[in-house]
């Protein structure tokens, strides 16, 4: 992917519960739960370092809508009512590239907080073609 890539296609795959992003011949699949617990909103990330809020109980969250934000991002509306995250192209590209590490970090935090069984660990984290997210 280039320094800042705009996806050539965005597809909501409700049956497999993933948002599929295509960059030319390379496709990445970001599970709904992953996108929800890593929302770039202040509600999740806080307003500074150390203010992050661990998201629990998001295993079954669905995406109910995706809305464009200018020419630089999308806003995702989730079934739990969360809708304040603006997912810029840079953020989505970073998620694709760092997904396995970010997911493992999240699972460790859940376990440390006593919520080890609270995640859809079985949700596929995959990409096809090119390099990036683990298959």
CATH number assigned to the domain comprising residue 61: 3.30.2020.30
Q: Taking residues 48-75, report their average pLDDT.
A: 92
Let me know if residue 134 belongs to a domain: no
Let me know if residue 58 belongs to a domain: yes
Residues 61/28/83/122 CA torsion (nearest 10 deg): 20
Q: Taking residues 65-94, report their average pLDDT.
A: 97
Let me know if residue 115 belongs to a domain: yes
Global pTM?
0.84
Q: Are 17 and 62 in contact (CB under 8 A)?
A: yes
Q: Are 1 and 131 in contact (CB under 8 A)?
A: no
Q: How far apart are CA 21 and CA 7, in angstroms?
A: 6
Let me know if residue 70 belongs to a domain: yes
Report the pLDDT value the prediction gives residue 4, as an integer from 0 to 100. Answer: 61
Let me know if residue 116 belongs to a domain: yes
Let me know if residue 55 belongs to a domain: yes
Query: Over the stretch 5-47, which tens digit does the pLDDT of each residue have?
Result: 899 999 999 999 999 999 999 999 999 999 999 999 988 987 8
Let me know if residue 35 belongs to a domain: yes
Q: For residue 103, what are the CA distances in angstroms to 9, 12, 29, 92, 111?
A: 23, 20, 13, 14, 12
Query: Over the stretch 103-132, which tens digit does the pLDDT of each residue have?
Result: 999 999 999 998 877 676 544 444 444 434
* Half-sphere exposure of residue 98: CA atoms within 13 angstroms, side-chain side: 11
The count of structural domains within the chain is 1
Contacts of 37 (CB under 8 A, 6+ apart): 44, 55, 58, 106
Let me know if residue 75 belongs to a domain: yes
Q: What is the span of the domain harbouring residue 41?
A: 9-128
Q: How far apart are CA 97 and CA 95, in angstroms?
A: 5
Report the pLDDT value the prediction gives residue 121, as an integer from 0 to 100. Answer: 53
């Amino acid at each position: 992917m280039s320094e800042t890539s705009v996806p050539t296609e965005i597809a909501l795959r409700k049956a497999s519960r993933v948002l599929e992003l295509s960059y030319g011949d390379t496709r990445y699949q970001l599970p709904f739960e992953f996108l929800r617990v890593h929302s770039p909103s202040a509600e999740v990330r806080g307003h500074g370092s150390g203010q992050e809020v661990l998201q629990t109980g998001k295993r079954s969250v669905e995406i109910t809508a995706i809305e464009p934000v200018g020419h630089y991002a999308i806003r995702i509306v989730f079934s739990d009512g969360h809708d304040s995250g603006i997912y810029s192209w840079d953020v989505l590209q970073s998620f694709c590239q760092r997904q396995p590490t970010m997911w493992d970090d999240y699972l460790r935090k859940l376990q440390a907080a006593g919520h080890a069984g609270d995640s859809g660990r079985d949700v596929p984290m995959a990409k096809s073609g090119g390099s990036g997210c683990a298959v």
